[in-house]
Amino acid sequence: MLRSLSIVAVLTAFAGAQDASLKFRSVAPGVWAADVGAPEPFSLLSVAGGSPMVAAMKALPDASFPFAKGSARGWARGGQSSLRFPLGAGEDVYGLGLGFKHVRRNRQIMTLHMDHWGATPGRTHAPVPFWVSSQGYGVLVDSARYVRVWVGTSLRKDAEDPPPLRDRNRDRNWQAHPRSDSIDILVPAPGARVYVFAGPTPLDAVRRFVLFSGGGAMPPRWGLGFTHRTPTRFTAKQITAEVDAFDAHGFPLDFIGLEPGWHSAAYPCTFEWDRERFPDPVGVVKALLDRRVRVNLWMNPYVRPGCALHKKLSPHAASHLVWNGIIPDYEVPAARELFTTHLEKETVGIGVSGFKIDEVDGFDSWLWPDVARFPSGLAAEQIRQTYGLRLQVMMYDLFKKRDRRTWGLVRGTNAGAARLPFVIYNDAYSHQDFIRALCSSSFLGVLWTPEVRSSKTGEEWLRRMETVCFSPMAMLNAWSSGTRPWSFPEVEDRVREVALLRMRLMPYLYTAFAEYRFRGVPPMRAMPLVDGWADVGDAATRRERVQDQFFVGDAILVAPLFAGESKRSVLLPKGRWYDFYTGALIGTGGVHEVAPKDGRMPVFVKEGGMVPLGPPLLRAPKPGEGIALEIRHYGNHASRRRLYSDDGETFAFERGEHGWADLIVDLDESGQRTGRIENEDPRFHRYTSVTWRFLGR
Amino acid sequence: MLRSLSIVAVLTAFAGAQDASLKFRSVAPGVWAADVGAPEPFSLLSVAGGSPMVAAMKALPDASFPFAKGSARGWARGGQSSLRFPLGAGEDVYGLGLGFKHVRRNRQIMTLHMDHWGATPGRTHAPVPFWVSSQGYGVLVDSARYVRVWVGTSLRKDAEDPPPLRDRNRDRNWQAHPRSDSIDILVPAPGARVYVFAGPTPLDAVRRFVLFSGGGAMPPRWGLGFTHRTPTRFTAKQITAEVDAFDAHGFPLDFIGLEPGWHSAAYPCTFEWDRERFPDPVGVVKALLDRRVRVNLWMNPYVRPGCALHKKLSPHAASHLVWNGIIPDYEVPAARELFTTHLEKETVGIGVSGFKIDEVDGFDSWLWPDVARFPSGLAAEQIRQTYGLRLQVMMYDLFKKRDRRTWGLVRGTNAGAARLPFVIYNDAYSHQDFIRALCSSSFLGVLWTPEVRSSKTGEEWLRRMETVCFSPMAMLNAWSSGTRPWSFPEVEDRVREVALLRMRLMPYLYTAFAEYRFRGVPPMRAMPLVDGWADVGDAATRRERVQDQFFVGDAILVAPLFAGESKRSVLLPKGRWYDFYTGALIGTGGVHEVAPKDGRMPVFVKEGGMVPLGPPLLRAPKPGEGIALEIRHYGNHASRRRLYSDDGETFAFERGEHGWADLIVDLDESGQRTGRIENEDPRFHRYTSVTWRFLGR
């Protein structure tokens, strides 16, 4: 019927099919950009809005362009654009979206698509189109489209390193998946901008990406404390009682999360207090603040018919609805202004300290379809990829304007989010998946919490509590279960011990975040971002262990136990390693089977590592509050570390109001260690006492 | 950093965001077309290449446009186009790609993407963007792009039938998925053409779609016989011995499939005979033909370096490779010519009767990436969606040129394929999934075989054999297992019985295919395409049974048993129903629990139904061969049916060389039935005897 038309198509479409080398230009120290086609001005980084920290980038090791420039190629044609990067034999690829099942991405084919969990790889809460190569560089495709990626599966006629040709009829070594020498990308848009981040190490590449995005997020000190989210229908009174119960049980609590029930109606939301449950919102927030407990408020951004915001935002809303609520288009500046003004008045202005931004990820069946139209004229796909990012920027700016730091939660984010003080969470609950996500997050400039919600057994409860206390947010999310830290009496003491360890680790963790903020070093890191990792084990062991152990700060290696396990295998990087708790020598780099006698989660420190600990407080220290400091040093090895401090609550630290002290351990002639602190800033480094503990011989 | 650019994007992109009513124009009886944006000339139907059978469409019941025209709307902007169709409360949606897990599509969100099995819904061997509404109409989106579809999940501000607003904080009836009143489509291209097919029934809509595509495929008579695919490394001698064994065991065998081993090397392929296994290809094909066994040859279309075709086709190949083989671009006419000329010489010209076209579907990790470039200038995505379709057209034309019908296999197809004599298969093996696919296929103008490969038990073997014998191709695919029909001695007799029943059903099935060819009625049909279905059961029961029972021809309802089941529930449409084998009355329309005493798969015939049976031959009858005909008539009901015949092998039937006889059963005054045949065409209706069997009272 239409047979002749295919020839017409052939003749008209035959144009521009050639690929060409990308032309890279330097845009920051160790960062190069190149364009294919005509990049769209609306991109992930344009929404994230950070400014490159050029000085910090200059301080990184000098690095030249990390691969032969001619081997990165691209084309643009017919509304699509394509990019290709080299992939060497044995080269490992990490990143490309928050992963729950995989940390390494080789041989995966993904569409990076903002979504809830559980669908295909690439559909995730942080579909960040950034990858890190084990060769020590990173690449960002700065497109707010659904970017498709083929990691080492594409075979080309012009491959530089083609696999052998085999005959399946005769050759037992025939391969269904011959090795490819490239990473291929399709951007469904007329063009895209791509950035290459030099190393020389994978960690350096991640650091450059984080610093290019504006540096990592700096929590308030209370953000590193323990947090608890109360059942959704809790009243002001019940919340007060919950704080009482934490105090009575001796469990730390720095901020408390109110779930949908604070809204007068929810799903979609009113953004107005429910006056039955909260007759005096100002009073309840103030009363909690007086007890040094902050309030975090849940929201989804869909606005309910009948509420004050609905009328204001309707002219700026999309064609579609979510749960019958309008979808404000926050790419329209007036919509941003209306929303933040309202939130400032109702929440931030009365002392609310943070938000949990829900439902900005997926599922497809909840959110708007890709056919929705937005007043800004942007495609639904572009809004979907960036909605969570935009809301974070808005909320962050709201707090920053008041010179108060915040620490919140978000369920959807994207590239450039490093500077935004929000931690990703979701509704999945496999403990193993949660740890993979924690590892995976560190490649992407995002943070993830393996939140604790409920458990089948006390053992599982403890295991989950252990890992969440080594994560960016030590959160119990009991919004639906009503569980409390002491709900399993058989492990109450052990859970309290680990929660208080979290509090004790605050000087250490706060410094780790300062390293993130100022130097781009993710506070929790997958093992390929740790020195000496590539030197131990075989490739198969590394691929396994990259999924279930991780590093925290500059000294601590965490090897989680999962329910049912009394022992596990751990792969220690090059060097000598000690048990964190006892200082016992574990051994040198390589595979170790560990079976902790006391049942505690295995935690290790490398020779020379230092862990500064504070007291086991129930709240984070107040600004300027002096604490008793204990500094643990591991192994007979002189070393030097830094200890960060600031006021813990405001942005004064960005204006230079912060201090880095030096922790120094020397060996005398007999090999005895002595420790000292230098360069303390008396405004911030306030200690009632300093104790050095030398562990490991 | 790039914050100001988002505003630029907003200003430049704000255009054309309004949707508008689609403007439909009549293009064939009961078929209307409308365009959104600028449809691409290269489309599914442009590749499929059929011509609408206007006269047959005119003979369908008169039908007006099936819904309010203004409620179908669309927009095109920024390289994307969108379509929206109404979806009523209680309206069911079928089609939208071959389904293995689902036949009904309500509440699904799919990307229709050519793929192997096992991924998300929509990724399938036949991602046909056509749906059938229970309201009695069909819609085709004729785009060769990855079309996205939201079936009743999108909520709009301007919904005509909005769901109620609920408060999750207080209302237990709050819904995570409120009902939507639309089907939404996104085509990632500047435009698309859409066709609406009137009913008045769902079957009429499917018939119009099939007839618009050029009518259904007409098999040669041997195509409906039994077929067996031999182990891949079988030699000519072993194949001969296999035919001997079938004959010795009294099992029918009409065509035999040679797997990759016929190629001198495979994956990718040479398209040249392996001279070790097949020293005399001409001789072996001829020897099999002399025994009336046809040969079907496996291929994947990727051409191996070093073979004769490789040199010829290289200039017309894509940028990428599959298993190191080139990917010829058959949208270049010269490439088609080179390939078919070669195949004609090596295979069709020496008597090969058909092909199995493998690996034209997926997985992504095997095939080319979407960044591949093709000489025709078409996008890789467009080639991916249509590659199997194009190869079918080429192979079909090759046989048609020689005036010989073929009946083959294909693993990837798309809209418009109804006329192409290929049956879809895959590598999955859940029996339940296979039956769902058989049901699903009938909405799409494609055919599916639930092939039998191997089994854990004799029972499973029998159950699979039973269903494959009621499918478009009665195939044992032993390419890897080496299983034979008699491999489970405990069920050998039962399996032989059902294989011979298949042979006996040939007059009935051949007529069913003629109804497909000339009148667009799919030979095997899901229950929503059967009269009286909507009148029985409740919605939940219909949704369950739509997945596991089906109709064959104009009289037979098949209710498969799966391994482990000795009984099952069946939902019979309105009317009186009889047991196919015994004529026992089952009852009237509604739910029946059936537990066949003899363990045979339940098969039912409706009052007035007729089943013409031939003899239990081991080969299909030769052209003009007379057979003993038995006509079974069920129930005390006068009725009239048609019986088709032609030469069984050539395309003479398309030139009028075919006959339709009338089978007529009358009741005399005492209620006794008499049967007669009228309008027999003596060239084709040749019977050595005719026996009427009146079953059911």
Task: Check whether A434 has a pLDDT greater than 80.
Answer: yes
- Kindly state the average pLDDT of the residues B17-27: 91
Q: How far apart are CA B358 and CA B479, in angstroms?
A: 13
Query: B177 and A373: CB-CB below 8 Å?
Result: no
User: What SS3 state is found at B586?
Assistant: strand
Q: What ipTM goes with this model?
A: 0.95
Asked if omega into A200 is within 30° of 0 (cis), the reply is yes
Determine contact, residues A221/A167, Cβ cutoff 8 Å: no
Beta bridge partners of B31: B28, B197
A158 touches chain B (CB under 8 A): yes
What pLDDT does residue B89 have? 93
Q: What Rg value do the Cα atoms of chain B yield, rounded? A: 26
What token pair was written down for B301? 């279309």
**Closest to A189 in 3D by CA, of A40, A377, A374:** A40
**Closest to A418 in 3D by CA, of A513, A553, A556:** A513
- Kindly state the average pLDDT of the residues B609-621: 98
* Amino acid identity, position A409: L
Q: Give the pLDDT band (50/70/90) at residue A17.
A: low
Q: How far is CA B555 from the centre of its chain?
A: 19
Query: A177 and B260: CB-CB below 8 Å?
Result: no
Q: How far apart are CA A520 and CA A508, in angstroms?
A: 16
Q: How far apart are CA A348 and CA A289, in angstroms?
A: 13
Min CA distance, B696 vs chain A (Å)?
47
Give the dihedral sign, CA B389/B391/B396/B397. Answer: positive
| Torsion angle, alpha carbons of B456, B459, B465, B467, to 10 | -110
Chain B (174-213) residues lying within 8 Å, Cβ to Cβ, of chain A: 174, 176-178, 184-186, 188-190
| pLDDT tens column, B381-418 | 999 999 999 999 999 999 999 999 999 999 999 999 99
CATH superfamily ID and name for A221-505: Glycosidases (3.20.20.80)
What token pair was written down for B620? 């299909």
What pLDDT does residue B63 have? 87
Give the dihedral sign, CA A399/A553/A614/A612. Answer: negative
Write out chain B residues lying below 8 Å of A159, CB-based: 321
Q: Tokens 């994947």 correspond to what residue?
A: B300
| pLDDT tens column, B501-549 | 999 999 999 999 999 999 999 999 999 999 999 999 999 999 999 999 9
Question: Which of B42, B150, B155 is closest, CB to CB, to A324?
Answer: B155
User: What distances in angstroms separate CA B129 from CA A84, B415, B440, one per listed residue?
Assistant: 31, 7, 13
Q: How far apart are CA A409 and CA A514, in angstroms?
A: 19
Helices A333-346 and A380-401, interaxial angle, to 10°? 40
Which is more confident, B1 or A352? A352
Q: Give the pLDDT band (50/70/90) at residue B13.
A: very low
A670 touches chain B (CB under 8 A): no
Pick from A33-42, A331-340, B154-163: least confident: B154-163
Min CA distance, B501 vs chain A (Å)?
36
Write out chain A residues lying below 8 Å of B372, CB-based: 154
Write out chain A residues lying below 8 Å of B157, CB-based: 317-321, 326
Write out chain B residues lying below 8 Å of A329, CB-based: none
A574 touches chain B (CB under 8 A): no
Residue A241 half-sphere exposure, CB side, CA atoms within 13 Å?
A: 6
Q: How far apart are CA A459 and CA A686, in angstroms?
A: 38
Determine contact, residues B459/B491, Cβ cutoff 8 Å: yes
Min CA distance, A157 vs chain B (Å)?
5
Determine contact, residues A175/A25, Cβ cutoff 8 Å: no
Q: Compute the mean pLDDT over every residue in chain B, rounded to the nearest whole number.
A: 95
A482 touches chain B (CB under 8 A): no
A379 touches chain B (CB under 8 A): yes
Determine contact, residues A550/A438, Cβ cutoff 8 Å: yes
B16-159+174-212 against B519-606: fold identical: yes
What pLDDT does residue B68 have? 93
Determine contact, residues B255/B248, Cβ cutoff 8 Å: no
Q: Give the pLDDT band (50/70/90) at residue A280.
A: very high
What pLDDT does residue A194 have? 98
| pLDDT tens column, B328-348 | 999 999 999 999 999 999 999
A41 touches chain B (CB under 8 A): yes
Write out chain A residues lying below 8 Å of B153, CB-based: 364-365, 369
Q: How far apart are CA A300 and CA B552, in angstroms?
A: 51
Contacts of A241 (CB under 8 A, 6+ apart): none
The predicted model scores a pTM of 0.95
Using a 10 angstrom Cβ sphere, with 0-12 exposed, 13-18 middle and 19 or more buried, the burial of residue A400 is middle
Write out chain A residues lying below 8 Å of B266, CB-based: 167-169
Query: A13 and B378: CB-CB below 8 Å?
Result: yes
Angle, alpha carbons B368-B451-B357 (nearest 5°): 35
Angle, alpha carbons B298-B302-B308 (nearest 5°): 95
What pLDDT does residue B161 have? 85
Min CA distance, B59 vs chain A (Å)?
20
| pLDDT tens column, B254-268 | 999 999 999 999 999
Q: How far apart are CA B464 and CA B457, in angstroms?
A: 11
Q: How far apart are CA A166 and CA A188, in angstroms?
A: 35
Query: A377 and B13: CB-CB below 8 Å?
Result: yes
Q: How far apart are CA A418 and CA B534, in angstroms?
A: 56
Give the dihedral sign, CA A243/A247/A250/A256. Answer: positive
**Closest to B328 in 3D by CA, of A1, B345, B400, B340:** B340
Task: Check whether B2 has a pLDDT greater than 60.
Answer: no
A655 touches chain B (CB under 8 A): no
| pLDDT tens column, A494-522 | 999 999 999 999 999 999 999 999 999 99
- Kindly state the average pLDDT of the residues A455-469: 97
B167 touches chain A (CB under 8 A): yes
Beta bridge partners of A592: A570
**CB burial string A408-425: b at 16+ within 10 A, e below:** bbbbbbbbbbbbbbbbbb
Task: Check whether B7 has a pLDDT greater than 60.
Answer: no
Q: Tokens 């089609």 correspond to what residue?
A: B95
What token pair was written down for B600? 């045979």
Q: Which CATH number fits the domain B16-159+174-212, given the four candidates 3.30.559.10, 2.60.40.420, 2.60.40.1760, 3.10.450.50? A: 2.60.40.1760
| pLDDT tens column, A357-379 | 999 999 999 999 999 999 999 99
Q: Give the pLDDT band (50/70/90) at residue B9.
A: very low
What pLDDT does residue A478 have? 87
Query: A368 and B5: CB-CB below 8 Å?
Result: no
- Kindly state the average pLDDT of the residues B122-150: 98
Using a 10 angstrom Cβ sphere, with 0-12 exposed, 13-18 middle and 19 or more buried, the burial of residue B55 is exposed
What pLDDT does residue B17 have? 56
A6 touches chain B (CB under 8 A): yes
Q: Which CATH architecture has domain B519-606?
A: Sandwich (2.60)
**Closest to A253 in 3D by CA, of A486, A456, A480, A424:** A486
B595 touches chain A (CB under 8 A): no
Q: How far is CA A390 from the centre of its chain?
A: 16
Q: How far is CA B184 from the centre of its chain?
A: 25
- Kindly state the average pLDDT of the residues B616-633: 97
B47 touches chain A (CB under 8 A): yes
What pLDDT does residue A121 have? 85
Q: How many CB atoms lie within 10 A of CB B61?
A: 11
A286 touches chain B (CB under 8 A): no
Q: Tokens 């960044």 correspond to what residue?
A: B371
Write out chain B residues lying below 8 Å of A334, CB-based: none
Task: Check whether A15 has a pLDDT greater than 90.
Answer: no
User: What are the backbone dihedrals phi and psi of residue A113, each rounded to the nearest 5 degrees, phi first?
Assistant: -140, 120
Task: Check whether A273 has a pLDDT greater than 90.
Answer: yes
Q: In chain A, where are the structural domains located?
A: 16-159+174-212, 221-505, 519-606, 610-695
Q: How far apart are CA A242 and CA A518, in angstroms?
A: 37
* Amino acid identity, position A148: R
